[in-house]
C-alpha cells in the first residue's frame, strides 16, 4: 500500500491508496476539487486482480471522508506461455526446440480474471508455416489452420524446418458492461530450432524396360497377356504375390527414427488399344493411385516402410493389334517424426518432396491378330522424370501436402460392353 500527499486540506493531506498485489501508483495529480487522477503501474509478476483505488481525506476535511474509484482499475497480468508443463515465455525463459510434425501444445495464464471480467480477444502470432491438425484418407488430406484468435490455448505443428521462430500471445479483458481493456503486455516464446533430418528419395529402375508376360487365370487352364513396367509374374498359381523385378523403386533415406509415408498421384494415364480407349479406362488426371498411404511399399504395414515400388500393367486382349500405356505419376514422400516425449498427442506426417516418374510403352500383336502372340514392348519413356523436388509451403494450397481428385482404382474403367477372347 502506498500513500501520497495530495490536496492540502485542513488537518493534513488526503491519501491515495491502492490495494492489489504487485501494483504501484504514480503520477498522482489533483485535477480539481472533486477529481484526482493517478496511474496504476503493474509489476510483471502481478496477478490478475481489480485494484481498490481509494482517496482518504483528513478527518476535518469536507465530506466525503473517503472515495473509491468506480469502476476499480483492473490489473491485467502479464501472460505466460507454457509448454510441456514449463513456462517458456518471460525474461528468463530458455529457447525451445522441436521437430517438424511434432505437436506444440501451448497453454497460457491467466485464464481467469477478477469477478466481472472475462478474457477476450486472445491473439497468437506464430512465425513459420503451421497447421492445427492433419487427417489423411483416400478422399484426400484435410488440414486445419492453426487457431490464433480467441483461444487461450493453441496446438499446432510446424511443417518446415526453420530457426528463431517466435510465438507471441496477448489478451484483453472485458467487464460486465462490455468495455474492453487491452493493456496486457505480450508474452513471447522463442523456438531456436525447428528441425528436420535431411531426407531425400532415390529412384532405381530394376528391369529397365517394359515386358509382356502371360498370367494364369484362376479356375481355368488358360493364360492372359499383360504388359507391365518390369518383368512380373505370379509367384505361385493364379494369384499374387508377384515375382520379378518391378518397374520402379523409390527409396528414401535420412529419416532416422521417423516413419515414411508415400502418396502417389497419377499425373496422367491414358491406356489405349489400337489407338482407342474402348474400355473407357481413364484418362486419369491427378488422381490418387490406389490408396493413401500408397500400399506398394515394403516392408508392409504396420512396419515402417523403407521403400515404395510400382509396376503399371495393361491387359492385352487378343482382338487388338496394339496396346499402349502412357503413364505419368508423382510419388510424394512424407515423414512423420518420432513421438514427442511428454505428450500423448501423436506427431503427424509432414511433406518432404516429390519425384515424378513415367512409363510409356507400346506393344504389338504378331499377325495374324487373335492368336495372342505379342512382341515385347517398345519402351519410349521410363523411370524418373527430373529430380527429387523438395516440398515447399507455397507448392499449393495445402502447405505442400499432395492433393488429388478421385482415386484411380475405384474410378477405373467401365468395360460393360467389352468382349475379349481368352488366350490359350
Residue ranges in contact with other proteins by CB under 8 A:
138, 202, 204, 206, 217-220, 222, 224, 226, 228, 230, 232, 235-246, 249, 251, 271, 273, 278-279, 281-282, 289-291, 295-303, 306-307, 309-315, 317, 408-410, 412-416, 418-420, 422
CB-based contacts of 20: which residues, under 8 Å, 6+ apart? 46, 49, 50, 51, 52, 75
If you search the block for the grid coordinates 517398345, which residue do you land on?
378
422 SS3 class: coil
CA distances from 149 to 153, 176, 185, 221 (A): 10, 21, 16, 68
**Least distance from other proteins to the Cβ atom of residue 314, Å:** 6
Angle ∠(296,374,206) on CA atoms, nearest 5: 35
Q: Which is nearer to other proteins, 251 or 345 (CB)?
A: 251
> How far is Cα 46 from Cα 24, in angstroms, rounded to an integer?
11
Angle ∠(44,184,162) on CA atoms, nearest 5: 90
**Least distance from other proteins to the Cβ atom of residue 241, Å:** 4
Q: Which is nearer to other proteins, 103 or 317 (CB)?
A: 317
> How far is Cα 142 from Cα 225, in angstroms, rounded to an integer?
40
Burial class (CB in 10 A: 0-12, 13-18, 19+), 212: buried
**Least distance from other proteins to the Cβ atom of residue 212, Å:** 13
C-alpha cell at 212: 509382356
Of 25, 88, 33, which Cα lies nearest the Cα of 342? 88
Q: Which is nearer to other proteins, 148 or 308 (CB)?
A: 308
**Least distance from other proteins to the Cβ atom of residue 215, Å:** 9
**Least distance from other proteins to the Cβ atom of residue 180, Å:** 50
**Least distance from other proteins to the Cβ atom of residue 353, Å:** 19
**Least distance from other proteins to the Cβ atom of residue 416, Å:** 6
Q: Which is nearer to other proteins, 238 or 389 (CB)?
A: 238
**Least distance from other proteins to the Cβ atom of residue 237, Å:** 4
Q: Which is nearer to other proteins, 313 or 353 (CB)?
A: 313
> How far is Cα 27 from Cα 25, in angstroms, rounded to an integer?
7
Q: Which is nearer to other proteins, 251 or 321 (CB)?
A: 251
Q: Which is nearer to other proteins, 35 or 416 (CB)?
A: 416
> How far is Cα 234 from Cα 391, in angstroms, rounded to an integer?
37
Q: Which is nearer to other proteins, 57 or 358 (CB)?
A: 358
Helix (H) or strand (E) holding 409: helix 408-411
C-alpha cell at 29: 495529480
C-beta separation of 374 from 366 below 8 A = yes
Amino acid at each position: 500500500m502506498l500513500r501520497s500527499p495530495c490536496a492540502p486540506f485542513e488537518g493534513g493531506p488526503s491519501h491515495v491508496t491502492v490495494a492489489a498485489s504487485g501494483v504501484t501508483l504514480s503520477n498522482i495529480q489533483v485535477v480539481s476539487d472533486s477529481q484526482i487522477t493517478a496511474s496504476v503501474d503493474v509489476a510483471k509478476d502481478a496477478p490478475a486482480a481489480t485494484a481498490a483505488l481509494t482517496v482518504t481525506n483528513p478527518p476535518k476535511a469536507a465530506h466525503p471522508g473517503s472515495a473509491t474509484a468506480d469502476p476499480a482499475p483492473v490489473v491485467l497480468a502479464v501472460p505466460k506461455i507454457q509448454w510441456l508443463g514449463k513456462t517458456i515465455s518471460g525474461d528468463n525463459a530458455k529457447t525451445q526446440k522441436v521437430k517438424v510434425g511434432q505437436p506444440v501444445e501451448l497453454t497460457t495464464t491467466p485464464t481467469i480474471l477478477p469477478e466481472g471480467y472475462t478474457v477476450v480477444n486472445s491473439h497468437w502470432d506464430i512465425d513459420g508455416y503451421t497447421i492445427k491438425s492433419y487427417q489423411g484418407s483416400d478422399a484426400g488430406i484435410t488440414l486445419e489452420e492453426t487457431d490464433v484468435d480467441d483461444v487461450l490455448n493453441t496446438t499446432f505443428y510446424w511443417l518446415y524446418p526453420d530457426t528463431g521462430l517466435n510465438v507471441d500471445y496477448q489478451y484483453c479483458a472485458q467487464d460486465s458492461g462490455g468495455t474492453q481493456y487491452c493493456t496486457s503486455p505480450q508474452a513471447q516464446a522463442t523456438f531456436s530450432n525447428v528441425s528436420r533430418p535431411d531426407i531425400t528419395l532415390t529412384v532405381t529402375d530394376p528391369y529397365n524396360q517394359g515386358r509382356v508376360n502371360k498370367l494364369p487365370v484362376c479356375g481355368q487352364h488358360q493364360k492372359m497377356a499383360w504388359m507391365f513396367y518390369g518383368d512380373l509374374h505370379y509367384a505361385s498359381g493364379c494369384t499374387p504375390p508377384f515375382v520379378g523385378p518391378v518397374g520402379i523403386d523409390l527409396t528414401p533415406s535420412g529419416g532416422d527414427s521417423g516413419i515414411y509415408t508415400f502418396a502417389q498421384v497419377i499425373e496422367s494415364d491414358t491406356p489405349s488399344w489400337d489407338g482407342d480407349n474402348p474400355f473407357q479406362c481413364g484418362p486419369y488426371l491427378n488422381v490418387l493411385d490406389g490408396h493413401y498411404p500408397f500400399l506398394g511399399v515394403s516392408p508392409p504395414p504396420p512396419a515402417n516402410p523403407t521403400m515404395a515400388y510400382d509396376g503399371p500393367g495393361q491387359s492385352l486382349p487378343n482382338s487388338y493389334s496394339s496396346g499402349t500405356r502412357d503413364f505419368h505419376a508423382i510419388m510424394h514422400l512424407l515423414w512423420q517424426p518420432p513421438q514427442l516425449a511428454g505428450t500423448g498427442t501423436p506427431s503427424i506426417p509432414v511433406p518432404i518432396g516429390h519425384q515424378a516418374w513415367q512409363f510409356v510403352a507400346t506393344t504389338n500383336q504378331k499377325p495374324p491378330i487373335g492368336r495372342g502372340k505379342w512382341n515385347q514392348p517398345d519402351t519410349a519413356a521410363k523411370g524418373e522424370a527430373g529430380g527429387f523436388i523438395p516440398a515447399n509451403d507455397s507448392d499449393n494450397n495445402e502447405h505442400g501436402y499432395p492433393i488429388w481428385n478421385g482415386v484411380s482404382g475405384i474410378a477405373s474403367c467401365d468395360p460393360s460392353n467389352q468382349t475379349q477372347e481368352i488366350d490359350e
